[in-house]
Amino acid sequence: MTLVIDNIAELVTNDPELGDGPLGVMTDASLVIDGDTVLAVGPSGAIADERLDAGGRCVLPGFVDSHTHMVFAGDRSEEFTRRMAGEPYDGGGIRVTTEATRGAGRDALWDSLQQRLIEAHRAGTTTVEVKTGYGLSMDSEIELASLAAEATPEATFLGAHLLPSEYEGRADEYIDLVCGPMLDAVRDRVRWIDVFCETGAFNTEQSRAVLEAGRAAGLGLRVHGNQLGHGPGVQLAVEMGCSSVDHCTYLSDDDIEALAASDTVATFLPATDFSTRQPYPDARRAIDAGVKVAMASNCNPGSSYTTSISFCIAMAVRDMGMTIDEAVAAVTVGGAVALGRTDVGRLTNGGPAHVTILDAPSRHHLAYRPGVPLIWKTLGADYRLPTAPDPN
Ligand code: NIG
């Protein structure tokens, strides 16, 4: 059964050969899909078995959320409230979530993960990366890795998220566990390995050991870096050829130069800077220097409890110096590059029919109407939802 989405005021394809500018924007367009596949992108008036009248709305590729920590239990709203009253964020709350997650049980973790995925789908996200990292023990990390892998092809092992309290003073021993038995137990379930390389988490040598072990296990590499201050994360990510280094709130001139000369994507997570009262990263400076950028939600209970990519776009445009088109690219094709994907993040013939339809005539409304639930419909997804993926 084919479906034509017709009467599209503005269609963002992310293929410059199909339309105007880098986003390949077409006006008065239609999109024909067959199940999960795009059959044709063209002018309005195409014929198919069924018709969805977009009513002059804007259609985009589904958002690619390339950084989340969606498998967890517990609530840290009190910590957030204290932070809004002036308490600084140092990442120590990860242990609070670890305790709640270890005791939650598989069914409760699965149910809450599913709820977050439904929420993300309603917010226009059709590809999502999910990290472990709130288990920090063999059994719990295995449980989280298997839940993440059941939900999405983009599952990441983040055993080196923070030192669990039972390893206090024995960080190198914990790193040996992460790089050895833990990695062995999860390597077949995940696509990526990640490490929090930051003062208070893991140092350069420990982080390099994690990335080297991940690479030897055949995993792709990612780093959390330069979130809470200037540090070695970005340089290490570039040195190791990571697909992405995420946060990048604090970038030195040397960091920018190294990123620009590399294939490593700088992934900005502005909802984190919002929720932790950090400064926003200077995306303009990075983009002007030639750095490849992406942007993601970082959905987690401590530093960024949101699945809203629209919210990230609004911040990027208002406070990070990105144009609306750069922000839209960062959450679609940028996220795809950060995940090493060439299929998602665009709408082209033969590609996946992962589609976000705004209840607005143009992409500009994503920044122009902050805080408004602008997603009219989301079609398709490459993660697992409990029901047919049309909860709108
Ligand atoms: O990306 N930086 C480390 N990890 C998460 C924070 C998790 C938490 O506070 O629970 C982040 O911000």
Question: How much of the chain exceeds pLDDT 70, in percent?
Answer: 98
CATH 2.30.40.10 positions along the chain are 2-62+345-379
Widest distance between CA atoms in the chain: 67
Q: Is the CB of 76 under 6 A from ligand 1?
A: no
Strand-pairing partners, residue 244, are: 222, 265
Q: Is the CB of 231 under 6 A from ligand 1?
A: no
CATH superfamily of domain region 63-338: Metal-dependent hydrolases (3.20.20.140)
pLDDT above 60 (res 390): no
Kindly report the protein residue whose alpha carbon is nearest to atom 9 of ligand 1.
302
Return the ligand 1 atom nearest residue 247 CA.
Answer: 1
Mean predicted confidence (pLDDT) in 52-69: 98
- Measured distance CA(356)–CA(56) in Å, rounded: 14
pLDDT of residue 60: 98
> Who contacts 170 (Cβ-Cβ below 8 Å, separation ≥6)?
none
pLDDT above 90 (res 112): yes
- Measured distance CA(269)–CA(274) in Å, rounded: 9
Kindly report the protein residue whose alpha carbon is nearest to atom 5 of ligand 1.
303
Q: Identify each DSSP E strand in the chain by its residue range.
A: 2-12, 25-34, 37-43, 50-53, 58-61, 63-65, 125-131, 154-160, 192-197, 220-225, 244-247, 265-268, 293-295, 355-358, 375-379
Q: Write out pLDDT tens, residues 236-294.
A: 999 999 999 999 999 999 999 999 999 999 999 999 999 999 999 999 999 999 999 99
Return the ligand 1 atom nearest residue 89 CA.
Answer: 9
Kindly report the protein residue whose alpha carbon is nearest to atom 6 of ligand 1.
303
> Who contacts 121 (Cβ-Cβ below 8 Å, separation ≥6)?
378, 381, 385, 389, 391
pLDDT of residue 391: 47
Looking at CATH, the fold of the domain delimited by 2-62+345-379 is given as: Urease, subunit C; domain 1 (2.30.40)
- As a dihedral over the C-alpha atoms of residue 106, residue 244, residue 24, residue 283, rounded to 10 degrees, the angle is 110
Q: Write out pLDDT tens, residues 309-367.
A: 999 999 999 999 999 999 999 999 999 999 999 999 999 999 999 999 999 999 999 99
Average pLDDT, the chain: 97
Minimal CA–CA distance to 337: which of 293, 297, 381? 293
pLDDT of residue 188: 98
Q: Write out pLDDT tens, residues 120-157.
A: 999 999 999 999 999 999 999 999 999 999 999 999 99
Give the number of other CB atoms < 10 A from CB of residue 77. 9
Tell which one of 89, 144, 224 to mutate to probe ligand 1, the residue whose CB is within 8 A of the most ligand atoms: 224
Q: Is the CB of 156 under 6 A from ligand 1?
A: no
DSSP 182: I
Minimal CA–CA distance to 189: which of 227, 140, 147, 236? 147
pLDDT of residue 386: 84
Give the number of other CB atoms < 10 A from CB of residue 163. 22
Backbone phi and psi for residue 318, each to the nearest 5 degrees, phi listed first? -75, -40
- Per the document, the length of the chain is 392
Contacts 24+ apart (CB under 8 A), 237-242: 237/197, 237/264, 238/262, 238/264, 239/208, 240/208, 240/211, 240/212, 240/215, 242/211
Tell which one of 71, 94, 223 to mutate to probe ligand 1, the residue whose CB is within 8 A of the most ligand atoms: 94
CATH 3.20.20.140 positions along the chain are 63-338
pLDDT above 80 (res 392): no
Q: Is the CB of 222 under 6 A from ligand 1?
A: no
Question: How much of the chain exceeds pLDDT 90, in percent?
Answer: 98
Cα(270) to centroid(ligand 1), Å? 13
Q: Is the CB of 281 under 6 A from ligand 1?
A: no
Return the ligand 1 atom nearest residue 162 CA.
Answer: 3
CB 109 within 8 A of CB 71: yes
pLDDT of residue 388: 54
- Measured distance CA(219)–CA(235) in Å, rounded: 20
Q: Identify each DSSP E strand in 191-347 by its residue range.
A: 192-197, 220-225, 244-247, 265-268, 293-295
Cα(94) to centroid(ligand 1), Å? 7
Q: Is the CB of 70 under 6 A from ligand 1?
A: no
Q: Write out pLDDT tens, residues 168-223.
A: 999 999 999 999 999 999 999 999 999 999 999 999 999 999 999 999 999 999 99
Q: Is the CB of 227 under 6 A from ligand 1?
A: yes
